Amino acid sequence: MATATKPKLNPRSFPRPPSCEKTPRHLEVKWNGHTIADTKEAYWVLETYHPPTYYLPQSCLKIPLQTTSNSSFCEWKGRATYYQLENPIKSGEVVKNRVWSYESPTAGFKDIKSYLSFYAGPWDCYVDGEKVEPQPGDFYGGWTTSDIEKESVKGGPGTWGW
């Protein structure tokens, strides 16, 4: 019996303005093989031309985080707060501004208040056991998995302003 292939998600058809939804997917973040976050209680934000950006509850984080002075503004979600984490294996190795949250999000994104989003790197991020690829360009924080149509993802050279 042939196995049915899962249809690909096309970011071109994701909503604008973006949507924020609970996701049943299992998310993990590992740093040097050490699990630093693990949850099935996350949200994903779906936005046109972006792979999903996942937001994990702070309660699933297994190492301490500290705020940094960095911030940014999203026209949909509001002002982001950034954090630093210390590597649980290599003492003294600190990574700054690769994790963020919205402490006072706009009304449409109130469900992700204080939830954490991770850039894919320097740690490894997983969705349902599959290691993700970061959204191209190191500006956006989407996680690309094999069920995402990569051809319609912005972030790489020449895709600004899609």
Q: What is the CATH number of the domain that holds 131?
A: 2.170.150.40
Taking the C-alpha atoms of residue 27 and residue 40, their distance in angstroms, rounded to an integer, is: 6
Please count the structural domains in the chain. Answer: 1
- What pLDDT band is residue 138 in, cutting at 50, 70 and 90? confident
Element (H, E) at 81: strand 78-86
**Over the stretch 63-78, which tens digit does the pLDDT of each residue have?**
999 999 999 999 999 9
Closest CA to 43 of 29, 56, 30: 56
Question: Confidence class of residue 124 from pLDDT cuts 50, 70 and 90?
Answer: very high
Tell me the C-alpha to C-alpha distance, in Å, between residue 146 and each of 5, 78, 96, 127, 131. 11, 30, 28, 10, 9
Whether residue 104 is contained in a domain is answered as yes
Q: Is pLDDT at 2 greater than 90 in this prediction?
A: no
Q: Is residue 159 part of a domain?
A: no
DSSP code at position 132: P
In a domain, 160, yes or no: no
Task: Place 90 in a pLDDT band, splitting at 50, 70 and 90.
Answer: confident
Instruction: Say if 60 falls within a structural domain.
Output: yes
Tell me, what's the pLDDT at 158? 73
Residue 58 lies in a domain: yes
What's residue 161's pLDDT?
A: 57
| Of the candidates 85, 83, 38, 33, the residue with the CA atom closest to the CA atom of residue 63 | 85
The helix (H) or strand (E) run that includes residue 27 is strand 27-31
State whether residue 30 is helix, strand or coil.
Answer: strand
Does residue 66 fall inside a structural domain? yes
State the chain's mean pLDDT as an integer.
Answer: 93
Residue 87: inside a domain, yes or no? Answer: yes
Say if pTM beats, i.e. exceeds, 0.85: yes
- Residues 10-32: tens digit of each pLDDT: 999 999 999 999 999 999 999 99
The answer to the question of residue 36 being in a domain is yes
Tell me which residue of 138, 41, 62, 143 sits closest to 98, measured CA to CA: 138
Give the list of residues 6+ apart from residue 79 with CB closer than 8 angstroms, or none.
71, 72, 73, 102, 103, 104
Mean pLDDT, residues 56-61 taken together? 98
Range of the domain at 146: 11-152
